[in-house]
Structure formats: structure tokens, C-alpha cells
Amino acid sequence: MTVRNNGRDPFVHLTKRAPVSALAGLLIRAGAFVFAVLLCAIVVWIMIGVDPITFLKTMFTGSFGIQKLENAKNFTSFWRIFTSSYFWTTFKTGCKLLLLAVALAPAFKMKFWNIGAEGQFLAGAISATYIMFNYPGLNPVVLLILMLTVSLIAGAIWGIVPALFKAKWGTNETLFTLMMNYIAIKIVDFFFNKWRGTKSALGIINIDSEAGWLRSLWKGSESAWFRNEDLIFMVTVLIIAVLMYYYLRLTKHGYEIAVVGDSQNTARYAGISVRKVIIRTMALSGALCGLCGFLCVSSQGHTVNSNLAGGYGFTAIIVAWLSRFNTFTMVGVSLLIVALENGSALMSNTYSDLGFSVAFGKIIVGVMLLFVIGCEFFINYKVVFRARKTQKEAVEA
Amino acid sequence: MKRFLSVILVLILALSLAACGSAGGNESGTGSNEGGNEASDLKIGVILVGDETEGYTKAHMDGIKDAAKELGIADDQIIWKYKIEETDAVTEAGKQLINDGCTYIFSNSYGHQDYMLGLAKENSDIRFVSMTGDTADKNGLSNFSNAFTRVYESRYVSGVVAGLKLQELIDAGKVADKNKDGSGNIRIGYVGAYPYAEVVSGYTAFYLGIKSVVSNVVMDVQYTSSWFDFDKEKAAAELLMNRGCIIIGQHADSAGAPTAVQEAFKNGEVAYSVGYNVSMLDVAPDAALTSASNNWKVYYKDAFEFALKGENIPTNWAEGYDKDAVGITELGASVAEGTQAKVDETIAKIKSGELKVFDTKTFTVGGEEVTEAFATDTDGDWVNDADNVVYDGYYHESEVRSAPAFNLRIDGITELNPND
């Protein structure tokens, strides 16, 4: 704003607030969310004609509902119903988003804007699939370890390349990581087209032999509740989230990342090799995205396509920011976003005839997220109007 | 840490509540699929690759809604899952449909098939139909089926419409030298999505339909590598017209090709379009002759009738004109005189079995009449090696499996970009 101050303040200006207490912050965020939900409920009521109670109920069922649980007679039937419920889907999908956000945390904390999670994920996924597609005859354990290794390496390479260029020549990492996404997407498209042959879709890989599937580890053994690909996937992700929290808070590496993020000059002065930290951290960030790719191929889809990450490589950026790089907060934020998506999906599946289309559902989710992100602004800043301030000053005077 | 703990606590709480629910659960809920299904307690799940904004899916949705209406199946007995990608999203959607009480589940995209198959293996009491799929005949599951229309029949009829127009143009002296190849054959063009059997079967039928009227035609096929891409389809049609193609057929879902043909027509070119799925008369009022189309209602009505009886759905359903599962859309103003009569006659002959679309006397491969062609690939190398379908003088399309299998490249048709 140009300074044309005739002794008067501008009509409106922003001032930074004193930090609010953790509890107050939480209450403000929760309040903003509740307000957003109510607003959306009313909009839906007016535009679609679905009353708020039904809206909230459907949103909740679509995200956390467990259908027909009353039919469970014993643990086996309970487990079967539970693991195929909306609740389970939300937690599983939430974990995928969580792992990508956790992978971004160290890079973002270092103020290295890695927006290449999607590509790093796909690099891991395609290399794991390559092994799975070409060497299905290997021993299941060897095959899975090989898949895991190559996906970690491929993800790390996708992270290291932009880091190297940044460290050596100061290139812009935002553009670089973004472009690396498209390279990965096209590589996946290439193999997808090659492998599907004359069919119009690749389908599931090794559908009969189940080679390279996580479940091949216990193939032939008696079924048990804990032999569940989803469960292993979710537990792995949660463990990584906890480890990352302590890595960033308590280790020397984590401290170096924080210092480099705050000021590279300070870091240099303190004798930290900035290049080394950047490259090491991006290798970690990329490798974790690659790991997510491996897990999604081996334990979820058992196939690959360029939409395997489903845009979560980008959504993870929002998650990481909203959580301020705190991996525990990320658990909640990831779940919230996926829950909103799944809830609105059920809304559109149920009420599309009334006009609640898939696109409308996405608008609703967008509005809710806007409120949640928007309230961060009002937690940090306050809007001051001239008139009010003058009055206040007058009183003070 | 506190927040993490609270999430864990919530999880534990939810789990324990759920567990209590199961322990004290009431006994009234029994298996959902026992005894015959009444119309009122049947639940049908539908997994769709798009939603009503996408023509292919909309055709399926309309078919399902019309069939349900005729059979007295209420709206709330059909549970929809829109925009399901060809990934494990199919598995998730399927599981939720099962949890919601669906006993019959349909999916409409080829890429859904493997996931539907996985669900079928694990849920033997639920019936699955993968529309346009091709594996039901060999996987041996009684609760898994495929279905497809014999749309090649309507493509043949649309070819007859185009052929009559071409004959009219020849008689009027409107076919220029640039519309002919070196040997004097008239060029026609086809915008195809991919070099798959589904497309090959369709354009061959279209070509043979034209050829039944005008014998000296050759066809160029330009692929777009997409089922739906307005710009690519438009560009492909323009390329074909630049090569001198006078009629442009299509197997891709947008109105790109007819739009291009209409523009050329407006610029004084002699060019006509034959569309797919829906009438193209609104985008090409002068250039569009007709479109080949599917009538999915016929299939869904058949399938729902089996569902109402609680029976298995036929493993490989394929019907065409005999059940009105295919057709051509309204004829445009530009069609030749007497087209309707000829169309009716052709349809009658197809219905009576007198006319076989893939009559081996009407085409050659490498200059020879075809005496043997396989429809099934048994070893997974994408080369068919079993089930000879050429006998009694014609290629038996969609008989071994419902999805089109005709994959021969016959003489007179040139693929311009088969490796794209």
C-alpha cells in the first residue's frame, strides 16, 4: 500500500495478534469448522432441499459409518463388517494422505518447498510395480524386499535431483519438484500402456499368483484378523508418523533442519553443511513418498496407474501446512479431509437426483476447508478499522 | 502428543462401542440373500466410471432407471457410486454396497473388471456384472458375468446409411478425384479410440455396411488414444478429410468429429458424418447422417428380471437387433432418398439371420477368404489361440464371450497410426 498518510490511518489495516493460548486456538478452529459445517448444511438445505439433520447424518455415515454392524454374531463377522465399512475406508485413505504429509514435513520445516510428493510417490510405485511385473517368480519375501528397496531408492532419487540442483546452483525447488511430477506421471503412463497390451486397462497385476502382494507373505496360512493388508498399512504409517515426530524434535538431524529452515546463514555460521542437510532431507522426504507408493502397490491396489496417488501428493501440502509440520496434528487433519471427501461422496451418491452432484460435493468440501484455513489467518492477525481505532484512541487520550 | 493420544482414545472408544454393539446385537438381521427376492427388498448396487455429465455413463444410468421403472423397482433400491476410478476404489465401493445390503452389483467400465472379480471371489453370495468385460467365460465363477450389446450390428446399418449417401453422391457426380485413391476407390474415414477388438469390430462392421452398397471404397482409420477427447477427435476428422475421406465414422464418445465435418460442410466441402451413442444432429444438422447407438435398458431389464427371481445373471449376455438392444438414431435431413426403407430391410434381414455382418464372403484378409479365427486367449499373451469362431460362412462375433472379439485387419482398411 502506498503511503499517502494525511495524518490518518488507512480505513482498514491488519495487526499481528499476541499468540493465543493452545486451548483458545483449538476452540477457534473448532468453532470455525462447526460454523462451516452449519453454513454448508444451510446452503445444501436451500439449494438441494436436503434438511440439515439428514445432511449431517449422511456426511457422518459416509465418513465414519459402520453399516449393518448389528449383523455381527462373532468376532469374525464383526471383523468382516468392520473392515469393509465407511469407517475403515476413511482411516485407510487417511493414512495414505498422512504418510505423504509426514514425508513432506522435514522438507517444509527446512523451508524447501517440495511440491513433488505426487511424483516421488509414483516413482516409488512404478519401480515397485516393475519388479512385481517382471519377476513374479521370486520368493515372496525376497520379492517384497526388492520392491521396497527400489521404491525407496526411486522416491529418494526423485527428491535428491531437485535438491542437488538447489544446493549447487540455487534453482527454484518449487518449479523443479513440480516438473518432476509430470516426468513421473508420463513414465507411469508409458509402462501402463506397454503392460496393458491390447486391452483398454491394465487391471490388477499378478491377479492369480498374488506375487508382490503383501498378502503373499501369509498365503496358504489360516486366516486371522491381523493378517490384513490394510491394517498393516495403517499401523506402518502411524509408526512412521511417530518416528518422524521424534526425528524432527529430538535428533541432531531434526535440529539442523530447523536451523537451515530459519536461516541458512546461521546454519553456516554454526558449521552446519547446508548442502548436505538439504540433500539428506530431500532424500528422506522422497524416500518416504516412495515408500507410500510401495505400500499402495503391494497392499492396496496391486496395480499402477498415473492416478494412483489420486492428487493426495498435492493435498498433503495442505495437510502439512495446516498441521504446521506437527505430525501428530497431521493425523487429525488427514482424517478430517478424507472424512469430508467421503461424506460428500455419499451425499452425491445418494442425492445426485436432487442436484447434489460430485462436483457440488467438492465445492462443499472446498468451502469447509477454506473456513478452517481462513481461521488460521484470524488467529494470527486482527483486522482493525479506522473508526473504531480512533474512538479507542480518543478514549485512551 | 496429547492430540495423538486423543485420536488413539477415540479409536479405542469407537472400537469398543462397535464391539459392544456386536455383542448385544439383535438377532433379526439375517443373511440378505435367502429365498426369492421380492421386488421390494432387492437392492442393486451400481459402480460407474463417470456421472450424468459423461455420455457413456449417462446412457447406462438412463438404461438402469428405465428398466427399474418398468419392473417396479423403487429409486431407493438402487445404490449409486459415481466417478469410481479404475483402481481399488472399485473394491471399496463394492464392499460398501455389500454392507448396504446390495446383492447384485454392476460396474460399467472395462477397467473395473479385475476388482469386481476380486470381490466376486470373496463374496460368493453376491452377484457381480462387469459390463463390457471379457473374462467371465473362463474364470469359472458362477456369480460373475459380463455383458455387451451387439453394437456392430447397428454400426453395419449406419454403414448402409452412409453407403446410400455415397451412391447418391456418385450419381450426382459430386465425388471428386481427391476423394479417390490411385486405383479409383473412394476414401472414407473413421475416428477410432484405440486399436482394440471393440473398435476394430465396430469399424469393420461400418465398412462392410458401406461396402454392401458401394463396392469400391477404402477406409482410413485414425486413432485418438482416448475414449473421450473433443479436440483430438476433431483433429482426427480434419486429418481424414484432408486425405480426401468423404464420410467420417467414429468410435469415440465426443461430438468432435461431427463438429469438424459440419464446419467443412459449411465451407463447401463434400463431407458427411456418422456418429456414435447419441444423435449428432444438434452439432451437425447438415453433415450428420445418423449415429449407431446402444440401448442399455434392454440389458438391465433382462438382468433385473433375473435378480428379482433371485437367480444368477447369464454369464455372457450379448444381444443386438433381435432384442432392440442396439439401433441407429434419427436420420438426418441429408440422407439419400429411400434410406429408411433400406434400413428397415437391412434390420429385418439381421433379425431373421439372413444377413450376417461378418459374412466371410464379403471380406478378405491378405487377399484370402478367412476360414479360421480364434476368439479366446488362453495363455495371456494377448494373441487369441482357442475357440475358432469362423464356421457356417461367417465370423461368430460375441458368441464365445459378450465383448467384441473380431480383431482381424481386413483388406481395404488402413490404420494410419496403429502404434500410437
Per-residue pLDDT reduced to its tens digit, A75-86: 988 998 899 899
Q: Cβ of A199 under 8 Å from any chain B Cβ?
A: yes
CA angle A164, A168, A169 (to 5 degrees): 110
- Contact (CB<8Å) A352/B4: no
B positions 72-101 inside 8 Å of A (CB): 75, 79-83, 85-88, 92, 95-96, 98-101
Q: What burial letters (b/e) apply to A166-176, b meaning 16+ CB within 10 Å? A: bbeeeeebeeb
Position A394 scores a pLDDT of 52
Cα–Cα distances in Å, from A181 out to A9, A18, A250, B207? 47, 40, 32, 43
What is the mean predicted confidence (pLDDT) over B59-76?
A: 93
Taking contacts as CB-CB distances below 8 angstroms, the residues of chain A near B86 are: 201, 305
On whether the CB atoms of residues B132 and B110 are closer than 8 A, the answer is yes
Please give the class, per CATH, of domain B151-295+324-415: alpha beta
Residues in a beta bridge with B201: none
Q: Is residue A250 part of a domain?
A: yes
Q: How many CB atoms neighbour CB B280 within 10 A?
A: 26
Of A69, A207, A359, the CB nearest to B22: A69
pLDDT computed for residue A376 by the predictor: 84
| Backbone torsions φ then ψ of A160, nearest 5 degrees | -70, -35
Is residue B120 helix, strand or coil?
helix
The arrangement of strands across the sheet holding B326-328 comes to: B326-328, B288-294, B272-276, B247-251, B186-192, B217-223, B413-415
- pLDDT above 50: residue B394: yes
Burial code of A304-334, b = ≥16 C-beta within 10 A, e = fewer? bbbebbbebbbbbbbbbebbebbbbbbbbbb
Query: Cβ contact (<8 Å) for B194 and A203?
Result: no
CB contact under 8 A, A332 and B3: yes
| Continuous H helices in B24-150 | 55-71, 89-99, 113-122, 136-139
Total domains, chain A: 1
Q: Cell numbers at residue B288, please?
A: 450428420
Q: Which domain holds residue A96?
A: 79-324
Cβ–Cβ pairs < 8 A, chains A and B: 119
* A278 within domain boundaries: yes
**In angstroms, rounded to a whole number, what is the distance separating the alpha carbons of residues A105 and A317?**
9
DSSP code, position B175:
-
Rounded Cα distance between A105 and A244, Å, is 8
Residue A386: its pLDDT value, please? 73
Contact present, A103 and A288 (Cβ < 8 Å): yes
- In this predicted structure, the answer to whether residue A73 has a pLDDT above a threshold of 60 is yes
Asked if B258 and B40 touch (Cβ cutoff 8 Å), the reply is no
CA pair distance A314, A122, nearest whole angstrom: 13
If we measure between CA atoms, which residue out of A49, A52, A61 comes closest to residue A356?
A49
Touching check for A354 and chain B: CB below 8 Å? no
Task: Give the residue extent of every domain in chain B.
Answer: 151-295+324-415
d(CA A268, nearest CA chain B) in Å: 32
Q: Is the pLDDT of residue B142 over 50?
A: yes
CA-CA distance, B101 to B107, in Å (whole number)? 17
Q: Is the pLDDT of residue B382 over 70?
A: no
What is the reported pLDDT for B138? 79
pLDDT band at B58 (very low <50, low <70, confident <90, very high): confident
- Is residue A226 assigned to a domain? yes
Q: Are A64 and A87 in contact (CB under 8 A)?
A: yes
Q: Average of pLDDT values for B112-117?
A: 93
Which residues are paired to A383 by β-bridges?
A14
What ipTM describes this predicted complex?
0.84
| Helix intervals (H) in A170-228 | 173-196
Q: Is B224 on the interface with A (CB under 8 A)?
A: no
pLDDT of res. A221: 87
Q: What is the pLDDT of residues A171-219, one digit of tens each?
A: 999 999 999 999 999 999 999 989 987 777 888 999 889 999 999 999 8
Distance separating alpha carbons of residues A23 and B2, to the nearest angstrom: 12
Helices B339-352, B151-171: crossing angle, 10 deg rounding: 150
Which of A84, A302, A308 lies at the smallest CB-CB distance from B98? A84
Closest CA to A326 of A235, A258, A252: A258
The pLDDT assigned to A391 comes to 54
* Cα B320 from chain centre: 12
At B21 the pLDDT is 37
Question: Rounded to an integer, what distance in angstroms lies between the CA atom of residue B102 and that of residue A335?
Answer: 27
Cell 464392499 maps to which residue?
Answer: B95
Confirm or reject contact between A301 and chain B (CB < 8 A).
Answer: yes
Q: Measure the CA–CA gap between B307 and B104, rounded to whole angstroms.
A: 7
Q: Report CA A30 to chain centroid distance, whole Å.
A: 20
The model's confidence at residue B6, banded by pLDDT at 50, 70 and 90, is low
Nearest by CB to B196, from A67, A198, A328: name it: A198
Quick one: cell of B36? 426369492
- Any domain includes A13: no
Within a domain: A306: yes
SS3 A12: strand
**A127 in a structural domain:** yes
How far is residue A294's CA from residue A291's CA, in Å, rounded to a whole number? Answer: 5
Is residue B24 left, alpha or beta, with left meaning phi > 0 and alpha meaning psi from -120 to 50? alpha
Q: Is the pLDDT of residue B13 over 60?
A: no
pLDDT at B25: 34
The three grid cell numbers given for residue B320, joined into one nine-digit string:
443386438
Q: Which of residues 81-120 of A touch B (CB under 8 A)?
A: 81-82, 84-87, 89
DSSP B374: E
Residue A150: give its domain's CATH number.
Answer: 1.10.3470
Quick check: helix, strand or coil at residue B190? strand
Selected residue with higher pLDDT from A241 and B182: A241
Nearest CA to CA, how far is B35 from chain A (Å)? 18
Yes or no, beta carbons of A203 and B113 under 8 Å apart: yes
**A200 with B196: Cβ contact below 8 A:** yes
Angle between helical axes of A358-380 and A312-322 (0-180°, round to 10): 30
Q: SS3 of B21, please? A: helix
Q: Residue B312's closest CA among B132, B126, B106, B117?
A: B126
Ramachandran angles phi, psi of A157, nearest 5°: -60, -45
Q: Is B187 on the interface with A (CB under 8 A)?
A: no
Say if residue B38's pLDDT is above 80: no
Residue B8 has pLDDT above 80, yes or no: no
CA distance B263 to B287: 9
Q: How far apart are the first and last CA of chain B?
A: 54
Q: Kindly write down the DSSP assignment for every residue of B142-156, as one continuous string.
A: TTEEEEEE-HHHHHH
pLDDT of A296 higher than 70:
yes
- Fill in the DSSP letter of residue B182: T
What average pLDDT score do residues A300-315 get? 92
